[in-house]
Structure 1
C-alpha cells in the first residue's frame, strides 16, 4: 500500500508535507462523520428490527390462539399450529441476524472510532503543539544579536532541542496517519463482510425451513380445493332444507311437542312453561322446562345451570289446576313443595301432564339397579343441575358421602326395612334409608324426618360429620328398644302399607321406645365429667383476649353451676335436662335418646339463666352438636335471661365455625344483650377478624337481598363461597380457625 504521507517530507517539514497533513486531517474528520452516521443508522435498524420481531411474535401468538380456538377442526388446528411454529423459527432467525449486525457493524465500527481515531487526534494535538514550539524557537533564534554571545548560545541550544523533539513527534504522527489509513480499509471491509455473511445465513435458514414446509403447503392447497367444493355442496343442501321447512305450517306449536321416555339423551320432554314464583307477589315467569333423568328441571338461559323443581318424580303427583284465573295450569306436588305451571294451550297442558305421569310409571317399573342408574346420571337436588366437569365434581362428592356414611355400623342396610345399599338418609335422625322408606319419611313432615339423597345431593361438611356420629345401630337401639318385647317384626322390602304403618308408629308415635330407660351416668363418672368440663371452660377462657375474659368467665360460672345441678339430679333426669347435659358433653347418642323420650329441643334451664341445649352445645365447643340440634328444630335465636342467644355466646368464646353455622341457619345478628351489645360489637371489641368478617359479610348480604327484593334467596355467589370455605375449614381443619386465640396469647 502506498504511504499517505512520506517520512522524508516529514523531516523536511516542507509545504508539501503541511499540505499532505491538511488533506489527511480533513479526510479523517469526514471519515469520522461517516462512521458515526453509519453506526447511528445501524442502531436505528436494529431497534426497528427488534420492534418488528415483537410485533411478529404477537401476530404469531394470535395465530396460535386461533389454532386453540379451532380445536374442534383438526385440519385448521394442525395447519395453524404448523405455520405458527415456522413463523416462530423465522423470528428466531431474525433475532440472530440483528445480534450479528450489532456485533459486526455497531460494535466493531464504534470501537474503531473510539480507539484508532482517538489515537490519531491525540497524535495531532502533540504535533501541533511541538510545531508551534519549533516556530517560536526559530523566531527567537533569528532575533538574537550577534554581540550577545550568551543569548546566541542559549537560543541555538533551544532551537536544536526543539527541532529534535519536533522530528521525533512528527515522525510518530506520520506513522499514526499511515497506520490509520491502512487499518481503516480492513476494519470497514471486515465489518461489512461479517454483516453480509449474517444475511446469507439468515436467508439460507429461511430457505431450508420453507423447503421442508413446501410439500405440506402443497397438500394443504389441494385439500383446500376439496373443502371449497364441499362447502358449496353443503350450502345447496342447507338452502334446500330451508326451503322445505319454510313451506311447513307454523300456525300452532302444539304439534311439535312430543315426549319420548326412551330418548337417547335422557330428555323425555322439553319446552317453555310459565312458572309461578314462590315469593309474596306470586309472579309468573316463562322458563324452559324439561323432564330428564327422572327429574323436572328448568332454566332461564341456555348457559344457566338447570334448576331442579322435583328431584325424583317417583315421589310426586301431577294434577290439573282449575281454581285460579289463568288458563291451562297444572300443579306438580312433591312431599316437600308444590310447583304451579302454565302451558300455552290445553293440548300442551295435557301433553305435559301425560309426560310426567308416564315418567313416574316408567320409574316405578324399573327394578334392580335403579339407584345405580340414578347415580351415573348425577343430577343434584339442592337447587341446580350441573353439567360437564361440575357434574363430575358433584358426583364425586355424592359418592364420598355415600361411602363415608355407609361405613358406620348398621348403615349398609335400610334402617327401617333392612334393604341393602340404601342411597337416602334422614339428616335429623342420622340414619340411612332405601328409596321407598325415604318417600314414607318425607310424608311424615320435616318436623319428624328430613330426607336427603346420599348420591344426588351435595353434603355440607358439618352435616356429613353429624351422620357419622350416629347411624342405624345407635338410633335403632333407641327407637326399637321394645320391639322384641312387643313381639313386633320389622317390615320387609316391598311391603309398602306395612312400612308406612311401622315407620309412623316408630318415629311419630314412638311406640317402641323404652320410656323408662333414660340413661344417666354413675355418680363417680358424673364428677369426672363435671371436673373435666370446668377445666375445659377455664382453658378456653385463658385463650381469649382480656376484653372478653370477664364475659366468658360469667359463661363459665353459669356452666359450672349447671354441671352441679345436673349432678344433683342425675338419678332422676327428665328428657329436657338430659338433652341439656348431653349437648355440653358432645354426646349425640344421648341427645338422640333424650329427643326420642320427648325432650323439648328448646328446653330452657330456669336454674341457669334459662340457657338452652343449643347454648350448652356452644359452650361445649362442638359444631356437630349444634348442627344436630338445629336439624331437629332448635331455635337459633332463643336467648337466655341475659339476652344472649347462641350467636352471642359463640362470638364471645371465639368459636368461628359455630358463628358461620348460625348465620347460615338464620341467626339474628342485630339482637342485643342486656348490655346493649350485638354480636358484631362484641367481635370488634375482641378484635376477632374472622368473626367480624363473617358478621359484616352476612349483614351486607342481608341488606343487598332486601334492596333487590330477593327475600328468601341465599344471596350472591361471593357470600356463599366464603361461607362454604369457612364451613369446610371449621369441619375439616378447625385448627386454622384458632388464629384469634393463638394471636391473643402473644399479648
Structure 2
C-alpha cells in the first residue's frame, strides 16, 4: 500500500493538506469516470461479441454443409470438416472468454465503483460537514464578548467539540484515502489477472504467440500476491498509528518557505512574486515565477505556457530597488528591458536575488563553445538590432570593429582568449564571454559589462573605448605581476581560476604599483596669471588654451613611473607658468589634473589607486575632475568619469555644475551628454541662473533647443498618454547630436560661435 497522505499533516489542516485532498479527490473522480466508461465499453464489446459468435456459428454451419456437399472429394471434404471443427472449438472458447470478461471486468469494476467509491464519497461528505462546523465554531468563539463569561464558555465548549469531531473525521478521511488508493491497485490488478487467464484459454490455438505473455502473467500474479500481503500489513500499521495519533493534540501551524537552488529538476528557484506591468497604469500582478534553463519565466496557471521575462540570464543583472514605495522590491535588468518584481518578505527577496546571481554564474560556466566568430555572430544578429534606423542597426558591429582594432584588444584582457566580443565600458577593456560574466558578478561599481555585438553603442562610448584598451589597462592593473610571480589564467583555465584572478586584479588590486605616502601635499593651485586668464575665458565664452593632448603613439608605459614622471613624459608646461610638482599628489588630485590634460591612462591609473571620482579641488573654486573635463570640451573624458560614478550635478563654489560650464563655453556635445546622463537643467548658480537662461543669454540656439527638449520630454513623461511619443522624439534628437559631437564636432563649434547675442 502506498501512503498518499500523512496523519500528522491532516491535523494541521494546512493549505498543503487541502491541496493534497483536492488532488486525491480529483484522482478518485477521474478514476470513477474512467471506470464507468470502461464498463460501458465492456458492455458494448460483450454485445458485439455475442453477435459475432452467433454469426460465426452460422459461418461454421455453412462450412460443414459445404463439406457434406463435397464429401465425394476426400481432400476438400476432410479440409472443410477439420477446419469447421477447429473453428467450433475456437468459438466455444470465445464464448467462455465473453462470459469470463463479464464476470471479471464488468461485475467487479461495477462493484468497486458502487461500493468502495460510494463509501469514499460518504466519508468525504462527513469530513466536509465537520470542516464547516469547525469553521462556524471558530467564528463564534472569535466573536464571543470578553464581558459575557457564559457566552465565552459556550463558544469554547462548542469549539472543543467541533475540533474533536473535525480531527476524528479528518483522520478517518485520510485513512479512507489511503485504503482506497491501495484497494484501487489490487482490484484493478485482480480484474486484469482474471482477464488474462481467460484470454490465455481462448488463445490456446495460438499458444506459441502467447508464450512471452505467459511469463509476464506469472510475474504479475506474484506481484499481486505481494501487494495483497503488503497492503494487509500496512493497513494494520496505519490503524495502530491512527489510534495513537488520534489521542494527541496537534494545534500548531508551521509555515516553511520552499527555497531550493539545487533542485534535480533543473529549476533553480520557483515561487510567487508580484510583477509590475510595463503599461501606463503600472499595475502589479501576482504570478508564479521560476528560473529554469538559464531563463526567468512566469505563468498564471499551471497548464499555461510560461512567459519568458529574460531569454538569457548571461545578459542581465539583478539589483534591489529601495526607491520604490513598496517593500521587498528588486529589479532584473537586461539589455532590452527591465522587470520590476516584489517578494513577500526580505528573506524571499534575498533568496530570489541570490538565485538569479547564481543562475547567471552557472549560465556562463555551463555555456557551450560557440562555433561562430564574433564578427560572424555580429552579422547574424544585425537584422534584429534595428534600433533607431540604419546607423543604430549596425552600431554593435561598428563598435566591434573599432574597439578590436585597438592594440591588445584582439584578445581578452584577463585570459587572452582571441576574438572577445564583450567589453567593460568603465575600465575600457575587451573580454570573452566567461570573463564578462565574472566581471558582471563583481557589481557595476567595479565593472560595467556590455556586448560589442548585441548591444547598441553610443558614439561617445566607442570613443572612450578607443582611448584606453587592454594594453594600457594591463600596464596599470598588472604592473607587479612579474614581481609576485602569480600565473595569469589562459583561455582553457577553469572558471574558478579566472574568477580568483579577476577579483585579485580589480577588487583587491594586488598587482598595481603602490604609490608613496600621499595626501599631504597642498591642493592643486593655478598661478595668478593662469587664474585670471581662465576667468576671462569663461566670461567671454571661449575655450581655454590647452596643453597638447598625448596621442596613442606617445603614451608612456605606466609601469614603474610615478604620476609626476607620467605627466612629464607627455606634456611640457608653458613658458609663462611654473612647473607643477605632481610627485606628492594623492590620486584625487592626480585624476583632477589628468582630466584637464585628457590623459586617459593616467586617469585610469588614478582611479586604480583609489581616487575619488568626485574629488573637490578647494583651491580652484571646488571644481571636480568632471568640471575640468567639461572645461576642455573632452567628450570621451567626461564619459569616462561618468561611467566611473562621477556626479553629473556636483557644483563648484559658484553653484555651477558640469552642465553650467558646458553651456557657458558653448560645448553643445557635452550639453547633450550631460542631459542624457541626468543633469539637472533647472539647477541655478549663485547668480540665480539656470543653464537655459545662460544659453538664451548667449544666443546658443543648439543648446537652447537641447535644454528645452529635455525639459519638455520630462513634462511629457509625467503626463498620461504622451510618454511614448515624447521618448521617441527625445531619443532621435539626442542621437543626432551625439553622432555629430563624436564625428563632426567642428559643426557644433561653428554653430555656437557664429551665433551672436542681440
TM-score by length of 1: 0.49
* The structure with more radius of gyration: 1
Judging by fraction of residues, say which structure has more helix. 1
Normalising by structure 2, report the TM-score.
0.48
